[in-house]
Amino acid sequence: MTNPTTSTAKLCTTRLTEPAWVRRVFIVIALAFLAFFLLLPVLTVLLSGLNKGFGFYFKVMAEKDAWAAIKLTLLAAAISVPLNVLFGLASAWAITKFDFWGKKALLTLIDLPFTVSPVISGLIFILLFGAQGAFGPWLREHDLKIIFAVPGIVLATLFVTFPFVARELIPLMQAQGTEEENAAVVLGANGWQTFFKVTLPNIKWGLLYGVILCNARAMGEFGAVSVVSGHIRGLTNTIPLHVEILYNEYQFTAAFAVASLLMLLALATLAVKSWVERQAKIAGSVEFAPKGH
Amino acid sequence: MKLKTLSLIVALVLTFGESGPQAFAAGKEIKLLNVSYDPTRELYEEINAAFAKQWKEKTGDTVVISQSHGGSGKQGRAIIDGLDADVVTLALAYDTDQLYKKGGLISKNWQLRLPDNSAPYTSTIIFVVRKGNPKNIKDWDDLVKPGVAIITPNPKTSGGARWNYLAAWAFGLKKFKGDEMQTQEFLKQIYKNVIVLDTGARGSTTTFVERGIGDVFLSWENEAFLAEKEIGKGTIEIIMPSLSILAEPPVAVVDQAAKKHGTAKVAKAYLEFLYSEAGQDIIGKNFYRPRSEAAAQKYAGQFAKTELVTIADFGGWDAAQKKHFSDGGIFDEIYLT
């Protein structure tokens, strides 16, 4: 491990060799880029949403369909995030602490939702659970609805947010190795004790970080959810889908108002994220290096 | 912390599940799902409210009608895949026919069950141009001029776009005295000028009116009037070409779903309401062409007259679909080559 002070010092001397104008140009470019591609859109959405004042803004949120969309989005996130935490922990634990047959395949499979387009992720469920799909006739016989109903939306959300926690934990746990766990086992700890007393404290900041990313995506997902939603107002629309509907109905201010809700959510997520990163640094888990999604 | 999360989830599930038992306890609440195409949002919002009021007065029951909108072909596909519609109000008979052919969800003679080919309202295809018509677009010939940027949805997914295409085809046939090769070349030139091909009519409307892309937008008449009223006042103009097509968007009860939900009676009454004077008046008010004499006369002023061909001139939807819009059909030849 490199000493942080020497590495910073080295970095400074390299920087100082660059002429001031180069540095300034780069800073201006970076700031202009940020302002144009991040700040401007955020402000546009917020201002467009508040176009007709705060009264209208809150009226839009209180509207029946909007409220239904907010509830559905929260429900989908509330189900998919804990399940993905469970899966992420289990798979990261298995992959990094043990050797077994099919480990490589599992690693690749975890990434699948990242690599396929969300539209495909949605279509997978149509092919499986749609009326013409593999389980369609059986579901129909038993009067179970998955596609174009809440379960389909939860499934699609679960699928697209699948890798976040696992992907965050695997590199972290790999870097930490198995020495501490081995020591715990040698000292007589059982599996659960090892997990809760040794592994979990080591990864908690990484885990939290994964949860935050997972939650952000769960609430913001559009593509996959759009395919399985059926777009029934007040029943199967999530916040992103509701924004699209409002926009298509020429209710631009209302659309941006609801969009700003997602935007605020994203900003809150970012704030929590940077707080987690700071805490992680303070906690001194040096191996924890966020990958910036 | 963990307990908190858990109780939050439980609370969420409870609030979400609440609407179910409540609705059931009311006993007399009937739920209908109307799956429709893009531009009918505003129409059915008004129809639903009026029908629910009438049904309540007549039977004491509360009807809650949910809506789903999108490109007509896409919506039909979703129903076949299991979207549980009691009633379909798609853009053209072909898409409704698929419910019988691909899903067996509807009886074969569905189109004969209600008057006027089951189409309680009609519309036609018109041009929307920028204020003052700077490119001087008056008729279908003007669309092939170089530098004219056209907006139309994709005929593969949108019902309105298929009506657009067929109207252009009818004009070509008339212009070239029945020569199909020349007509196909004419359409090819039109589609060469298309700069955005959205999946549904409403997407095209926002592209043209809200985002200001394109010189001319081939649109449903009703959609054009609505767009003008909602956002385009004073910025767009509506042009009626010398020839267009009589679009008949049909309505139907989805037999299987209605039977399963026990909604057959109310679904039928809902569609029949569209033919009543009250329904026809709402239809005219929303810029669709009404069928009833009274409403047609009341709203005659807002609709320009022109020569209209019908789908029968193409030998019906099956023939038109097969020839023009199926994979490897003329549209593919025009657009892909």
Distance CA B237, CA A266 (A): 41
Q: What is the arithmetic mean of pLDDT over B218-245?
A: 90
| CA-based nearest residue to B256, from B35, B63, B68, B85 | B85
Distance CA B232, CA B255 (A): 40
Q: Measured over all CA atoms, what is the biggest interatomic distance in chain A, rounded to whole angstroms?
A: 74
Asked if pLDDT for residue B22 goes beyond 50, the answer is no
* Cα A235 versus chain centre, distance: 24
Of A71, A150, A230, the CB nearest to B83: A230
| Residue B5 sits at the chain A interface (C-beta within 8 Å) | yes
What φ, ψ does residue B127 adopt, rounded to 5°? -105, 140
| CA-based nearest residue to A78, from B16, B5, B4, B17 | B5
pLDDT at position B229 is 87
End-to-end CA distance of chain B: 61
Q: What is the pLDDT of residues B26-57, one digit of tens each?
A: 457 999 999 999 889 899 999 999 999 999 99
Dihedral-angle region of residue B91 (phi above 0 means left; psi in -120 to 50 means alpha; beta otherwise):
alpha
pLDDT at position B89 is 96
Distance CA B46, CA B121 (A): 15
Residues of A in contact with B230 (CB under 8 A): 250
Q: Does A131 sit within 8 Å of B103, measured CB to CB? A: yes
Of A131, A233, A234, the CB nearest to B82: A131
Range list of H helices, chain B: 2-26, 41-59, 72-80, 93-101, 159-175, 180-192, 201-205, 221-227, 255-261, 264-275, 277-285, 293-298, 316-320, 330-336
Mean pLDDT estimate for chain B: 89
Q: What is the pLDDT of residues B260-297, one digit of tens each?
A: 999 999 999 999 999 999 999 999 999 999 999 999 99
Distance CA A167, CA A162 (A): 9
Q: How many CB pairs under 8 A join A and B?
A: 73
Per-residue confidence of chain A (293 residues) as pLDDT tens digits? Answer: 444 444 555 555 555 667 888 889 999 999 999 999 888 988 998 898 998 889 999 999 888 899 999 999 999 999 999 999 999 999 998 888 888 888 888 888 898 998 899 999 999 999 999 988 889 888 888 888 899 999 999 999 999 999 999 999 999 998 888 888 889 989 988 888 888 888 888 898 899 889 999 999 999 999 999 999 989 988 999 999 999 988 888 888 999 999 999 888 888 888 887 888 888 787 765 444 444 44
* Cα A170 versus chain centre, distance: 16
A263's enclosing H/E stretch is helix A252-283
- pTM for this model (two decimals): 0.80
Q: Is residue B277 packed enough to be buried (19+ CB in 10 Å), middle (13-18) or exposed (0-12)?
A: exposed
pLDDT at position B159 is 86
Strands B121-130 and B216-220: antiparallel
A88-118 b/e (C-beta count within 10 Å ≥ 16 → b)? bbebbbebbbeeeeeeeeeeeebeebeeeeb
Token representation of residue B147: 């530098």
pLDDT at position A129 is 92
Residues of B in contact with A143 (CB under 8 A): 260
Q: Does A78 sit within 8 Å of B9, measured CB to CB? A: yes
Tell me: ipTM over 0.85: no
Token representation of residue B287: 């810029």
| Cα→Cα distances B244→A77, A165, B12, Å | 49, 57, 53
Cβ(B186)–Cβ(B144) below 8 Å: yes
Of A71, A231, A235, the CB nearest to B69: A231
* Chain B residues 202-221 within an 8 A CB cutoff of chain A: 202-203, 206, 210
Query: Helix, strand, or coil here: A80?
Result: helix
Q: What is the pLDDT of residues A97-123, one digit of tens each?
A: 888 888 888 888 898 998 899 999 999
| CA-based nearest residue to B305, from B228, B243, B226 | B243
pLDDT at position A285 is 52
Of A145, A245, A248, the CB nearest to B84: A145
pLDDT at position A13 is 52
Q: How far apart are the CA of A19 and the nearest CA of chain B, in angstroms?
A: 44
